[in-house]
Structures are given as C-alpha cells and as structure tokens.
C-alpha cells in the first residue's frame, strides 16, 4: 500500500483519514482556525493542511471564511457569533469590531466577518468604522407584534383602561419563560417608567408575570424557575419556589395577581391573565401605580375589576379574530 512521505511508513489512506478527523476535532473545539495554526498544532506541513481542508470543504464538512476555517458540523454553534454580535451592539449602541470582540469570546476577525454579512443583509449599519443595529429589526418586531393576532384589540382596550384608571396600563406575553412587554398606555396620572415595548423581565417578580404563571401547571413553573432563577429585586421579591407556587394558588383563587413592590420599590400592580383560542401566547393585562394610589378600596376592588374586565373583553374579541 502507498505511504505518505510526510508520515513515515503508516498506510497513507489510514493516516489521511486520521488527520482529517484530527482537523475536524480541532475545529469543533474552536470558533475558527487558520492554516498555520493547524499545521503547527498537528505537526504537519501547511501544504498537507491545505489538501485536507480542500477535501473537507468540497465534502461540505468545513467552510472557509476569509481564509479561516470553521466546522460545518458545529451547526447551531455557527449562529452564536451572529447572536453575540447583535446582543453586544444592543448593549453598546455603536462599536467597532475590536470593541465587540473585547465584549465577546470571538476574535476581531470573526466579528468583522459576521458584521460584514449582517450589513449586507441590512441588519446592521456601518458609519465610518462604527457599527450599530439597523432599523430592519424594527420592521421584524412590528410584524411579530401583529402576528400575535390580537394586538389591535389589545391596543384599543388598554387605551381605554389607562384613561379610566388614570394610571399606567400594560400588556405582556410570555416568550422563552420571560415576560415580554407588548404594549403600554398612559392615563392622566400615570408615572413614567423605563418600561419600553420589547422589554424582557423575569416572570416571578411582577403581577404580569405571576398572572401568566398561574395559568401554567406547577411542573412547567418549576422548569421556568430552574432556567431563569428567582432573582431578588426588592426586599419584597419572592425568591423561594414554594412561596411562589403558594402565591400562584392564591392568584388562581383570586382571579388576578398582585405585585406588592416586588419589582420596583414603591410600585404596586394588579394583573389579570388573557387566554386566546387563536394565539399560542399567554398574555396579561395590568395597571401599575405608586403605592400611595394603590390602597384600600381602589387596590382591593376598583382596579381589580377594571383589569379583569379589560382582560375579559380582549379574550371575547380575540375569539373572532381570524
């Protein structure tokens, strides 16, 4: 049998396969690798590395990105740099590839390559050497929002709720075990908060989240808690699973959830769940206000009735949404 002059007297076919596996294993452990690094790591010539990589590329096992190589079998791992870049830009507003690399586990070469692809697809915008997320995300977000099937109904009824209560009215849905704000409306006395549409928050520390959790079986609640934890935000935040489950039982019996300064000091909230036959999302309606305006009859009866009434109207109208 022929032998590879680079590899002593080992059968060439066997050694070639072994080297290819070594390259694939090495690529699996790293984001991307250059020819020189592979040659030095495997102690073979660059020309041998090139031959193996060419074969692996032709077999769709490896991809070449601007002279660096990545394993195709990484699958979802190949998405990670894209997500990391987008999330970094979301936090940093604008940044260079080097600044993004410093905030992530990826090299500046990798970041630059992904930024280039994202810019070509119009997901990011480049000004000088600074990048920022583009308005294409706004278009996608608006489409997703209306794809819930009940957004028009929600907006109309929350505007009414805010006007009647005079306070801040909110509507959220659950996604990936988190509370996502979909719409807000301000009454005449409403406070201005940092709640912006699209905001993601934990489920356990708000009336909105707890009213949705109360619609779920305890086992699913446990899974959500295991994934996201029970972080403490104020001295009133529930941080014990058994206490949370007991609170959800009370919510079911009561017909609405309460937030007693559990997310923000001085803020109280009343929330009622919305279930829709035509939407896979669990939703919730709430009224939030300072503790000073959420006491006595108003807190125990007036606001709960308004919130439950709004949730009921949204549920009934959603039945007829095609």
Q: What is the reported pLDDT for 24?
A: 81
Domain 5-74 identical in fold to domain 77-138: yes
Confidence class of residue 269 from pLDDT cuts 50, 70 and 90? very high
| Residue 178 DSSP class | E
Entry pTM: 0.67
| Distance separating alpha carbons of residues 40 and 25, to the nearest angstrom | 15
Tell me which CATH code domain 5-74 carries. 1.10.10.10
Cβ neighbors of 70 (< 8 A, separation 6 or more) are 27, 31, 32, 33, 62, 63, 78
pLDDT tens sequence across 162-213: 999 999 999 999 988 999 999 999 999 998 876 778 888 999 999 999 999 9
| Distance separating alpha carbons of residues 282 and 273, to the nearest angstrom | 7
Confidence class of residue 1 from pLDDT cuts 50, 70 and 90? very low
pLDDT tens sequence across 92-147: 989 999 999 999 888 888 888 889 888 988 999 998 889 999 988 888 887 877 77
Which top CATH class is 77-138? mainly alpha
Residue-averaged pLDDT of the chain: 86
Q: What is the reported pLDDT for 132?
A: 93
Examine the pLDDT at 58 and tell me if it is beyond 80.
no
Tell me which CATH code domain 146-318 carries. 3.30.450.40
Where do the domains of the chain lie? 5-74, 77-138, 146-318
What long-range pairs does 124-127 form, CB within 8 A, spacing at least 24? 124/85, 124/86, 124/89, 127/94
């Amino acid at each position: 049998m022929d032998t590879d002059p680079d590899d002593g007297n080992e059968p060439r076919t066997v050694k070639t396969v072994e080297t290819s596996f070594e390259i694939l294993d090495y690529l699996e452990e790293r984001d991307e690798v250059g020819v020189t690094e592979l040659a030095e790591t495997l102690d073979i010539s660059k020309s041998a590395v090139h031959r193996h990589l060419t074969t692996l590329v032709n077999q769709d096992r490896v991809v070449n990105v601007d002279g660096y190589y990545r394993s195709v079998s990484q699958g979802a791992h190949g998405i990670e740099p894209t997500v990391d870049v987008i999330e970094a830009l979301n936090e940093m507003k604008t940044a260079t590839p080097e600044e993004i690399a410093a905030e992530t586990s990826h090299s500046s070469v990798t970041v630059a390559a992904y930024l280039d692809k994202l810019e070509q697809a119009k997901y990011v915008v480049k000004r000088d050497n600074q990048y920022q997320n583009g308005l294409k995300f706004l278009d996608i977000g608006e489409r997703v929002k209306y794809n819930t099937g009940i957004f028009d109904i929600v907006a109309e009824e929350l505007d009414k709720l805010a006007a009647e209560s005079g306070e801040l009215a909110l509507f959220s849905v659950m996604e990936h075990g988190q509370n996502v704000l979909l719409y807000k409306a301000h009454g005449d006395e409403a406070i201005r908060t940092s709640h912006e549409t699209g905001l993601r928050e934990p489920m356990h520390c708000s009336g909105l989240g707890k009213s949705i959790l109360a619609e779920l079986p305890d086992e699913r609640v446990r899974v959500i808690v295991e994934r996201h934890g029970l972080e403490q935000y104020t001295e009133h935040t529930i941080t014990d699973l058994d206490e949370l489950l007991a609170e959800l039982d009370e919510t079911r019996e009561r017909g609405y959830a309460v937030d007693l300064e559990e997310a923000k000091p001085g803020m109280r909230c009343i929330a009622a769940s919305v279930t829709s036959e035509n939407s896979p999302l669990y939703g919730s309606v709430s009224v939030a206000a300072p503790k000073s305006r959420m006491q006595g009859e108003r807190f125990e009866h007036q606001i709960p009735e308004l919130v439950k009434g709004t949730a009921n109207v949204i549920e009934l109208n959603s039945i007829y949404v095609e």
